[in-house]
A and B are shown apart, each in its own frame.
Chain A
Amino acid sequence: MENIKRILKELLQIYSVSGNEKMGKEAVVSLARDVFDEVKIDNMGTYILVKKSNKKNAKRLLIDAHFDTVGLMVTSIKKGGFLKVVNIGGLDTRVLPATEVVVHGKRDIYGLITSTPPHLRKESSKNPKIEDLMVDTGYEKEELEKIVSVGDFISYKQQIDFISGDYVTASSLDDKACLAAVIEAASKMDKEMLQYDVYVTASAQEETGKAGVARVAFDINPDIAIITDVNFARTEKEEDFETIECKGGASVDISALTDRRLTRNIINLLKEKGIKHQLVCEPGRTCTNNDPVSISGYGIRTALMSIPLKSMHTPSETVNLQDIKSLADILVAVSYEENL
């Protein structure tokens, strides 16, 4: 678990709003160098990390976890040092007032998302909309314009808390939690046992339309692909079956857009080996990178796995380390199995 914690911490400290993934290049390279044979970054900002099997002419296994996170972008600079902004990806605007951010200008500066006091709000009974909110930087406009330009990216300010019961709270656990599991799995994979050449994609721009992964999948043309992402954790009632349970292990997601035979073979393998997991159904679209990868090239056999996550797309996303470990265990088991 300590190794997972270390990897996770390093990943969480990288700011990587969709479209701005290249900012983390050095950190990713230093993290991946010891685990993988090859580390590349493509034009869109997708990282491709390769670990080869000792087998000759091994099949190819693609494992994807997206690298980008939701965030904001500067649209104009106003008097008093306030920035008008637009969302990058689907933000839960309910959580934005009084949230701390980092504005990635010529240098990183601190900012706070504004909130209007109740006595001055016209409609006190409404959740805020993005166009009503600004980022307060504390600079005069002239000074601010020297640091920040329209189009600059803004991230939630990272605050990593390891709380009780193996839980961790931070921003961008979607999808760094899965990426940590994938890197942990790759570090555990024994090249002698490995049945596949493993291509890990830490893909760009998932949150804004899943643009980063499909092209890479086309290039790699894998025999099978495992997409890993987070899914809503169950916090309300027990019969909320669209959600998955924290500490229940990573889930294998069953969908019309995942490969039926591959998914069933994986579930059987996990049962046989006694590896902790849970099942969840996404009957139609999965709204993850699974969907574009499955139709990439001539069509790719995909399976989808998820880690349960609370408070999605907020600065306080929460996952359990045991579920990250579970996903890593599952991925290692899959990579050792030739006939899936």
Chain B
Amino acid sequence: MKELLKRLSLAFGPSGCEDSVRAMIEKEIEPYIKNAEVIKDGVGNLIVHFNSEGKPRLMVSAHMDEVGFMVTGITQNGLLKFGAVGGFDPIVLSAKRVISESGVKGNIISKPIHLLTKEESEGAPKISNMSIDIGADSKKEAEALTFIGDYFTFDSDFVEYGEDLLKCKALDDRLGCAIMCQLIKDVSESKSEIPFDLYFSFSCKEEVGYSGAFGASAQIKPDYAIVIESKAVSDIFGVPDEKKVCTLGDGVIISFADKGAIYDRDLVRHIMRLCDENKIKYQTNKFISGGNDSANIQKNASGCRVSVLSAASRYIHSPADVISYSDFLTIYEASRAVIFTEIK
């Protein structure tokens, strides 16, 4: 699964531009969907349905998109002005390498340090003071390489480091996509009956808020939904325990709530019980923060029972998303247990 996670994370797919990620997933699951229905809807979601009418509907959801940049203008001297696609802390942008959909490489330049006023050098960096430099010396040269509305993402490798950590761009939320691909394989190869009318939704545009999961849940009208996501944590040295949110390596995060939704109490307890029974390492969040597709899914259609399984992620929304590989495996095991166990 690590190899699949790597390929998916390196694929190009900022919000609204998920095509290559979707294509990669389609290819990946192709051998396992003979008994499934595949829906590609208007907004760009890819939904895989294992029909089992009459049983409760379970929706498993992960988003395909990543944070990125959109070219908003080109200056006379060939620099690209850009806007954020998704939420960024501008502090992680300066001097980072970026790459466009067509493979044009560049880096983010800020006003040179010797030209900064005292206020600017001490204050927070602003995206409006940054540009993407792609090696063009004039507007005309730049226009031969890119265009207004072109997308860029971080150009950041997949690295395994330390004892158990993975670093790449877009692990948020390709880790969810990779797990869902594996689950689709498991379901298609399973000899035992699945106790759900089961939907997998690879959704789009999560990072910009008005997400594809909204439409996906309207079509599916699930009774239960689990969202597979990453969660921003700060388990670095010096941060007080209660503010770390969660810790890398301590297993799948089963949270009670985030800033957008309070998860279904019974479903959360059911998942914890499954983890206990199957000896799957899990942790709960010590700090209510962040948000994800669960709020959209919960509020849409007829309303449903929702829960989130997440990976603790350091430095999320930067060129270096970091997760623990053993945590990743516990999310897979927990979500697999949910799919194969009837909810009583």
Q: Which A residues fall within an 8 A CB radius of B?
A: 78-82, 92, 94-95, 97-100, 109-112, 114-120, 124-128, 134, 136-140, 143, 159, 161, 163-167, 169, 232, 235-236, 240, 242-243, 246-247, 310-316, 318
CB distance from A235 to the nearest CB of B (A): 6
Interface residue count on the B side (C-beta < 8 Å): 58
CB distance from A147 to the nearest CB of B (A): 11
CB distance from B248 to the nearest CB of A (A): 9
Select A119's contact among B124, B289, B318, beta carbons within 8 Å. B289
Interface flag for B278 (CB, 8 Å): no
Interface flag for B316 (CB, 8 Å): yes
Interface flag for B31 (CB, 8 Å): no
Complex formed: what's the CA distance from A126 to B122 in Å? 6
The interface centre, meaning the residue of A94, A167, A311 with most chain B CB atoms within 10 A of its CB, is A94
Complex formed: what's the CA distance from A120 to B92 in Å? 15
Instruction: Check if A82 sits within 8 Å of B237, measured CB to CB.
Output: yes
CB distance from A75 to the nearest CB of B (A): 13
Q: Which residues of A contact B96 (CB under 8 A)?
A: 95, 98-99, 316
Complex formed: what's the CA distance from A17 to B11 in Å? 34
Instruction: Check if B316 sits within 8 Å of A117, measured CB to CB.
Output: yes
Q: Which residues of B contact A167 (CB under 8 A)?
A: 135
CB distance from A111 to the nearest CB of B (A): 8
Q: Which B residues fall within an 8 A CB radius of A?
A: 77, 79, 89, 91-92, 94-97, 104-115, 121-125, 131, 133-137, 141, 145, 155, 159, 161-165, 167, 232, 234-239, 243, 289, 314-316, 318-320, 322
Complex formed: what's the CA distance from A240 to B115 in Å? 9
Instruction: Check if B95 sits within 8 Å of A316, measured CB to CB.
Output: yes
Complex formed: what's the CA distance from A311 to B93 in Å? 13
Instruction: Check if A115 sits within 8 Å of B114, measured CB to CB.
Output: no
B166: nearest residue on chain A (CB-CB)? A138
Complex formed: what's the CA distance from A128 to B162 in Å? 25
Select B112's contact among A97, A134, A232, A246, beta carbons within 8 Å. A232
User: 6 new A-B pairs (CB below 8 Å) besides A98-B315, A318-B135?
Assistant: A112-B161, A112-B320, A143-B163, A235-B133, A243-B112, A311-B107
Instruction: Check if A161 sits within 8 Å of B235, measured CB to CB.
Output: no
Instruction: Check if B92 sits within 8 Å of A110, measured CB to CB.
Output: no
Q: List 30 A-B contacts (CB under 8 A).
A: A94-B94, A95-B94, A98-B92, A98-B319, A99-B96, A109-B161, A114-B315, A115-B91, A115-B315, A117-B234, A119-B232, A138-B162, A139-B162, A163-B104, A163-B135, A164-B134, A164-B136, A164-B145, A165-B141, A232-B114, A235-B77, A235-B109, A236-B111, A242-B114, A310-B112, A311-B107, A311-B112, A315-B95, A316-B97, A316-B107
Q: Which residues of A contact B92 (CB under 8 A)?
A: 97-98, 115
